[in-house]
Amino acid sequence: MTSDQALARVIDQLERGSIGYLVVGALSSNLYGVPRATDDADVEVLFDGFDVVSFAAGLGDEYRLDRQMMIEGFTGTVRYVLHHEPSGFTIELFRLGGDPHHQERFSRRRRLRVPECRGEAWVSTAEDVVIQKLRWARRKDLDDIVNLIAVSGDELDWEYVNRWAKVHGTSNLLTDLRAEAGR
Amino acid sequence: MVETANTDRGDLQVAETRSAAAIAGAVWATKIARARAMPPEEKLLAGARLFDRVQLRMMEGIRALYPTWSDQQIVVECRRRLAAVRVREERGIYTPVDPS
């Protein structure tokens, strides 16, 4: 099983179980920007009644759940890591927490047709990709933002992006990146 | 004479820099145009597909360095290198949670 098939299987299982989720991170920035290689998929999940151990077991022998939970420092979000052993690809499951932007991001998620997932998948909006990556601000995040703005900048709800950038104190960085992208 | 030579070299460097910048700009514009033309349903899983290709190239590189290694040794080394990058990228961002 290849990496994209390994990911499609996880999305398919979330869909079949009617579990609330959305694809975030590099995969969602690829959707609106310039696709680049990534060795992991970030998926935010509603943990109301969601048993991550049973979920991982249901995926089959090729998947291994890392029992060590991690907490992300910016938002306090808890992360579980699923390893797909044959491909080396990882799927990171983030528990949707109380972070105000994450809550709004989840409520704004949209459906995307994905043939490999036998239907559709829930994905982050382009605006929410920019807002989140501004918070992380690693080198690769900044490149992703510039590419995303260059590809999809005309379609963004800038009022929404600016509002959250102000809340997170990232407005100046956003201004610089928009200039770099020529928008 | 020396002064003239230095000026010529400086002009050449400026011209080369401008030329490199123009090429980089054209490459970027092509990249953006391609990304705009790509259907969204193809783009979502593209990162995972590209990862498989990157991994194959990495393994070819490791095989060239260590021609006597088995396939399994090459996979292990490739995963070790990827894990090292991941550790560096996640440093200071994630901390382990004590389940208790």
**CB nearest B82 (choices: A7, A73, A88):** A88
CB A42, CB A23: distance < 8 Å: yes
- Asked whether residue B67 is domain-assigned, the answer is yes
Q: Check whether residue B33 and residue B76 sit in a common domain.
A: no
User: Which domains, and CATH codes, for chain A?
Assistant: 3-180 (3.30.460.40)
In this complex, is the C-beta atom of B24 within 8 Å of any C-beta atom belonging to chain A?
Answer: no
Tell me whether residues B52 and A87 touch, CB distance under 8 A.
yes
Q: CA B83, CA A38: separation in Å to the nearest integer? A: 13
Of the given ranges (A20-24, A30-34, B24-28, B94-98), which has the lowest mean pLDDT? Answer: B94-98
> What digits encode the pLDDT tens for the residues B15-71?
777 788 889 888 989 999 999 999 988 899 999 999 999 999 999 999 999 999 999
Q: How many domains does chain B have?
A: 2
Q: CA A141, CA A149: separation in Å to the nearest integer? A: 12
> What digits encode the pLDDT tens for the residues A111-156?
999 877 778 999 999 999 999 999 989 889 999 999 999 999 999 9
pTM of the predicted structure, to 2 decimals: 0.86
Tell me whether residues B41 and A114 touch, CB distance under 8 A.
yes
Q: Evaluate if residue A103 carries a pLDDT over 60.
A: yes
Q: Check whether residue B55 and residue B87 sit in a common domain.
A: yes
Residue B100 pLDDT: 64
- Tokens 């949209």, residue? A110
Question: Which residues share a beta bridge with A120?
Answer: A113
- Asked whether residue B97 is domain-assigned, the answer is no
Q: Check whether residue B16 and residue B55 sit in a common domain.
A: no
Residues of A in contact with B92 (CB under 8 A): 73
CB A81, CB A66: distance < 8 Å: yes
State the residue range of the domain holding B59.
40-91
CB A34, CB A149: distance < 8 Å: no
CB A101, CB A168: distance < 8 Å: yes
Residue A135 pLDDT: 93
Q: Check whether residue B44 and residue B83 sit in a common domain.
A: yes
Residues of B in contact with A116 (CB under 8 A): 45
**CB nearest A4 (choices: B32, B48, B79):** B48
What average pLDDT does the segment A71-92 reach?
A: 91
Of the given ranges (A97-106, B23-32, B86-95), which has the lowest mean pLDDT? Answer: B86-95
Tell me whether residues A121 and B54 touch, CB distance under 8 A.
no
Q: Evaluate if residue A178 carries a pLDDT over 90.
A: yes
Residue B14 pLDDT: 75
Q: How far is A78 from chain B (nearest CA, A)?
A: 8
